[in-house]
Amino acid sequence: MALKSNDPFWTFLFGSGKGSGAAMMMFILGVTGTAICIISGQIMKKYKYTEE
């Protein structure tokens, strides 16, 4: 994040101090995890469990 500290968008979202890179990483992981859960949930709705 030290390279992006002059960009006001990234500085506004995550800050420019210590830990700002970790904050950006956690944000990306959260968005990615949410997207994966939504997509896989839609796929799993198609399947039905039946006991034989």
What tens digit of pLDDT does each residue of 1-52 get? 566 557 787 788 887 788 888 888 999 999 999 999 999 998 888 888 888 7
| Residue that has been written with the tokens 């006991």 in this structure | 51
- CA neighbor of 30 nearest in space, from 44, 47, 14, 51: 14
- CA neighbor of 19 nearest in space, from 43, 2, 35: 2
CA neighbours closer than 13 Å in the CB half-sphere of residue 40: 6
Q: pTM value?
A: 0.68
Sequence-ordered list of residues with C-beta below 8 angstroms from that of 10, at least 6 positions apart, any chain: 1, 4, 24
Question: CA 50, CA 19: separation in Å to the nearest integer?
Answer: 49
